Amino acid sequence: MTVSGKDEPPPRPLAPATPAVAALPAAVAPVRRRNEALYYALRNRKLVIGFTIVLVFLLIAIIGPSFSRHEPLAYDGPPGIGPSADYWLGTTMFGQDIYSQFVSGLRASFLVGLFGGGLAAIVGMFIGFIAGYRGGIVDEILSMLTNIVLVIPTFAVLLVVAAYLSVRGIGSEAVFIGFTSWPWAARAIRSQTFSLTSRDFVDMARLSGRSTLQIIFGEIAPNMSSYLLLTFILLFGGAVLTAATLDFIGLGPTNGISLGLMMNYSVMNAALQLGMWWWFIPPGIAIAAIVGALYVMNVGLDEVFNPKLREA
Amino acid sequence: MTLKLDNVSKTYTLGAFSGKTLRAVRNVSFDVRPGQVVSLIGESGSGKSTVGRMILRLTSITDGRISLDDEDITTLRGGDLKGYYRKVQGVFQDPFSTYNPIFRVDHVFENIRRSYFPGVALSEWTGRLETSLRSVNLDPGLVLGRYPHQLSGGQLQRVLIARALLLDIKILVADEIISMLDASTRIDVLNLLAELKARGLGIVFVTHDLSLGNYISDTTVILRYGAVVEMGATEKVFGDPRHAYTKSLLAAVPQLHHRWEDEGFGDTSMPVELPTARGDAPKLTAVEPDHLVAG
Amino acid sequence: MLTVDNLSIAYRALSGDVLALKNASFSVADGEIMGLAGESGSGKSTLGRALIKLDNRMRHVSGTVSLDGETLPIDDDRAMIPYRFKRVSIVPQYAMSALNPTRRIGRMISELLTSRGMDFDKLRPELERRLLLVDLPVEVLTRYPIELSGGQKQRVVTVISTLLNPSLLIADEITSALDVSTQKAVARSLVEFRDRGFIKSAIVITHDLSILAQMADSILVMHGGRLVERGSVKAIVDAPMHPYTKHLIGSLPEVGVRYADRKLAGVSGLNAALEAMSSPDGDRDRPLREISPGHWVAAWGQA
C-alpha cells in the first residue's frame, strides 16, 4: 500500500502566522516538469545514442550533397572501382559515383520518412482523436474504416498503382505510405483518447463552453504529447523502412535515387558475388542504422516519459 | 431563475444487442430556486450523480424535461448550450482529476475567458480573477501560477467555485465536492456554499453524507435506486422521516453522542436488487405541506 | 495486548528522511478496540502499517513494538511473515478491490489459505459459522464478488482477515467513502468478532470520529506524527481536553445542527487550535502526560 497523493496535501499555507504542518512527502517540490524530462532525457543512453546516430545521418543527408563532385546518376567514372580519392565510396558497375548516390539517397529516405510518416501521423491522429472522443456510432464507423485499411494487402494495391502510374516520384511514394500505414497509429491514439476523455477535466472543459476540436487539441492532445511524439517517431522509421523495401523490389520512384534503389541495383548486378561491397554495404548499413536508431530512441523516450520504466 | 426537473429519467442500454436496460434515474422531479440549497442524498447506485450530470448536460436525458426559468434546456446544443453554462455550472468530487495536470490552475480560468470574455483586456481580467478568488477566501498570489499538485484539495475546490463565479451563475451543482477533503477544509467549503446561498445562488448539493446535507440545505431529496423515496423541507424530512428507507438511513448515520439503536447489520438480502430489474418509480404523496413520501 | 514504546518511523523522501511518526508510546489491552483518529498527514496510517508491514519507503528509526509480551520484528519483512494473518492482521481499505473479481469467493479463500500452508477443509466449518454470525448466508462462498453488495463484501473481507484469530486486527479506513448502511455493517461485524473472542484487540484507523464513537472503547488522537490525546471514548467525546481534540470534535457536522443555528469553525478553528497547542517558542512536539487514570494529554500552551 502506498500513500495516496490525493489525501495528503503538501504543506499548505494555513494562515500567515502559522508554520506549515509537516506533511508526508507524497507531493513534493515545485514544478520542474519540463526540466525534469530534459534531465532524464540527457541521461538516457538509448535516447542519446539513438538520437546521435540519426542526427549524424541527417547531417550527412543535408550537407553531404554539397560535397558531391558528380551527378548521382551520371555515368562519369570508371566502372566498378572501390573507394578512392576521387570517388570516396567507389563507383557502380556503370561508373556512377556511389558517394553521390548515397548522400542523395539519404536525403530521399529522410524526405519520405518525414512526409510519409507525417501524413500517416496526421491521418492517424485525426481518426484516432475523433473516434476516441466521440465514441458511439462515430467510433464504430471509424473503427471499421481503420480495420479495412489495416487488412488491405498493401503490396497488391501497390502493384496495381504501379501498373497505372508509369512515372512515380518520391511524393507519390510518400503519399502511398502515408495512406496505408496510419491504422495502427489511429488505434493507439484512439485508446489513449478514450481513457483521457473520461477524465473530469474534459467535462470541466465542456462546461467551459469549449468545442469538440478545442477540447481535443487544447486538453487531450497536450496530455498525450509524449505519446504522439513516440508515435510519430515510429511512423517515421516505419516509412523509411517501407520505402527502402519498396524501392528494393522495384516498386519505388521511377526517377531519382534512393538507398533502397541502390540496394536493388547492386543486387541485380551481382555486386555481392563480384565483391563490390562498397555498393551495397553503405546503403544497407544506413537503412539499418537509421531505422534501428529510431526504434531505440523510442524506447529511450518511453523510459524518459514513463518513470516506472526507468531502471535506475 | 428557477431550475425545474420534471419527471426526469435516464436509461442506459447495456451492450448493442442484449436488449437489457439500466434505469439509473427514474421519474425524478424537484425545483431549485435562487438562494435555495437542495440536497440530493443517496447511497451508491442511487443515481444522484447522474441527476447532477443531467442538469449539467454532461449526460443526455432519456425522458422528462429540465428547464431553467421555463426555458427547456433538455436538448440544447452548441451556442445555446454555451449560453446555458453561463447560468449553470458544476464542481466535481475529485479536485485532482478536475484539473488537467499538465497545465497550471490558471488554465481553468483561461478556458472561461476564451469562451465567454474574449474581448476583455488582460489587466481587467486579472482584476476580475483576483476579486473572484478573494470572494472564496483565497489569496490570489498563493494560487495563480501554480500547478494543481502544488495546492491542497480544499484550495483546488475553491478555485473551481471562483471559476464558476466569474460567470454570472444562478445555479451551482456541487457533486460530492467535499468528500475528499479534510474535516476542517470541508467546513470552510461548506460555509462558503452557505454564504453563496445567502447571496442568492441556487445550489444542488449532491452527497451521501446526511449530516452534511442537513447542515446547509433547505430542501432534501432522498434517492434510492434512481427514484425519489422522500423529499421536502430539510427539517421535516430529517425531523419526521416517514419512509422506511429514510428511517434506516438516519438510523445508520454514526453520531458522536448517540449510539446506533437497533441491532441489525443493514441490507442483507441476496441477491442485491438488480439495476436491470427496476420498474417505474413509486408515486409520491404529500403527507404534509412541503413533505412528499413514496408509496 | 499490544505495547508500543517510543516508536519512530521515517519516510524516505527526495530531499531526505521525514519523520512521520515521533516517539509514539501507548498500549492496547486485550479486548480493547482503540480508535486511531487524525487528519491526513497525522501519521495514523504510518503507525498502523508499521505494525504489520513496513513498505519500501518507510524506515524504522527507533522504538519497539511488542505483542503479547513478544517483541515484533517489524523491520524484518521475512521475520514478520509468520506473524501476519495469524497474530497481526489487517483489513484493507477497499474490499471491492481486495476480492478477485474472477474468482468465486470460496475458491479465493481456499487459494489464500493454501498459499499460507493451511487446510481449507479443516477451517471451512468455522468459516461458515462466522459468516452466519455477521448475517451472511453460507452461499456467499459460491458467489462472485460482483453479486454482493459493498457491505457484504466488506464483511466477507473482515471474516477472512480474522479467520485465524489474530491477537491484533488493524482496520485502516475501512469505513471511509462507504454508504452509511455499509459503514454500520462493517463496524458492527468488527465489534461482534471482538465480543466473540475471534480477535483480541483492534486498532481502527479513521478520520471519522463519529464512527469511532459507535464502535471503539478508547480513542487515540494524532497530529503531525505525535500523539495528542488518549482516553476512553466517553472522555474524548464528551470532555476533550486538548485544544486540537476539541477542534476535531467541534468541527463535526451532526444531524440536527444547521448552519443557521451554529456555524462550525473550519480552518480558522484549526489554526487557533494549533496556535494553542504550541509551546511559547512555537514547539509543537509536546510530551504526553497522564492527567487521570487512562487519560493522557499532550502538554499545550504554557504548561
Peptide bond before residue B271 is cis, with ω within 30 degrees of 0: yes
Query: Which one of B212, B265, B269 makes the best mutation probe of the C interface by having the most chain C beta carbons within 10 Å?
Result: B265
Which pLDDT score, from 0 to 100, does residue B35 have?
A: 94
User: Residue A79 domain-assigned?
Assistant: no
Residue C69: count of CB within 10 angstroms of its CB: 7
Domain count, chain C: 1
* Subunit contact A27:B149, Cβ cutoff 8 A: yes
Contact criterion met (CB < 8 Å) for C136 and B252: no
Q: How crowded is residue C92: how many other Cβ atoms within 10 Å of its Cβ? A: 18
* Contact A311/C at CB under 8 A: no
Render pLDDT for B133-162 as a digit per residue (tens, 0 to 9): 999 989 999 999 999 988 988 899 999 999
What angle, rounded to 10 degrees, do the helices at A170-180 and A154-164 form?
150
Q: What is the pLDDT of residues C96-134, one digit of tens each?
A: 677 888 889 999 889 888 888 888 888 899 999 999 888
Residue A28 lies in a domain: no
Q: Give me the pLDDT at residue C218, please.
A: 95
Instruction: Considering only the beta carbons, identify the residue of B98, B112, B153 that sits closest to A200.
Output: B98
Mean pLDDT, rounded, for B165-184: 90
**What CATH code would you report for B3-266+273-294?**
3.40.50.300
The band of C265, judged by pLDDT with boundaries at 50, 70 and 90, is confident
Give A-chain residues touching B180 at CB under 8 angstroms: 6-7
Which has the higher per-residue pLDDT, A76 or A108? Answer: A108
> Which residues of A touch chain B, with CB atoms under 8 Å apart?
5-7, 9-10, 12-13, 27, 30-31, 33, 199-201, 203-210, 218-219, 222-223
Q: Which has more pLDDT, B263 or A212?
A: A212
Say whether pLDDT at C183 is over 50: yes
What is the Cβ-side half-sphere exposure of residue C162, based on CA atoms within 13 angstroms?
32
Residues 6+ apart with CB under 8 A from C200: C1, C30, C31, C166, C167, C168, C194
Non-local (6+) Cβ contacts of C234 within 8 A are none
User: Hey, is the C-beta of B257 within 8 angstroms of any chain C C-beta?
Assistant: yes
Please state, for a pLDDT cut of 70, what percent of chain B lies above it. 93
Tell me whether B153 touches chain A (CB under 8 Å). yes
What's the CA gap between C19 and C59, in Å, rounded? 9
The answer as to whether C256 is a domain residue is yes
Q: Please give the residue that has the higher pLDDT: either B183 or B244.
A: B244
Q: Do B115 and A199 touch (CB under 8 A)?
A: no
Q: Label residue A163 by pLDDT band (50, 70, 90).
A: confident
Residues of chain A with C-beta less than 8 angstroms from the C-beta of B182: 9
Query: Residue B10's beta-bridge partner residues?
Result: B25
pLDDT digits (tens, 9 = 90+) for B10-21: 998 876 666 778
Domain span at residue A170?
A: 54-72+90-309
- Residue B237: what pLDDT? 92
Q: What is the CATH number of the domain that holds A300?
A: 1.10.3720.10
Identify the domain containing residue C171 by its residue range. Answer: 2-297
A80 within a domain of the structure (yes/no): no
Q: What SS3 class is residue B224?
A: strand
Could you say which DSSP state residue B252 is in? Answer: H
Q: What is the mean pLDDT of chain A?
A: 82
Mean pLDDT confidence for A180-197: 92
Enumerate the domain spans of chain B.
3-266+273-294
Give me the sheet containing C33-37, strands edge to edge: C88-91, C168-172, C201-206, C33-37, C218-223, C226-232, C295-298, C288-292
Distance CA B219, CA B77 (A): 30
Q: Which of C185, C255, C269 sits opposite B255 (nearest CB)?
A: C255
Which of chain C's residues have a Cβ under 8 Å away from the Cβ of B255?
Answer: 210, 213, 254-255
Going by pLDDT thresholds of 50, 70 and 90, the confidence category of residue A132 is: very high
pLDDT at C284 exceeding the cut of 80? no
Is residue C53's pLDDT more than 60? yes
CA distance A237 to chain B (A): 28
Instruction: Indicate which CATH number applies to the domain containing C284.
Output: 3.40.50.300
* Per-residue pLDDT at B15: 67
* Chain C contact present for A21, CB below 8 A: yes
pTM: 0.81
Across the interface, do A208 and B151 touch by the CB < 8 Å criterion?
Answer: no
Question: CA C110 to CA C89: how far, in whole Å?
Answer: 18
Residue A309: predicted pLDDT: 67
Of A3, A14, A29, the CB nearest to C271: A14
Mean pLDDT of chain C: 86
Angle formed by the axes of helices A33-43 and A277-305, to 10°? Answer: 140
Predicted pLDDT at B87? 95
For chain A, the domain total comes to 1
B28-80 confidence digits (pLDDT tens): 999 999 999 999 999 888 899 999 999 999 999 999 999 999 999 998 888 89
Inter-chain contact A1–C49, Cβ cutoff 8 Å?
A: yes
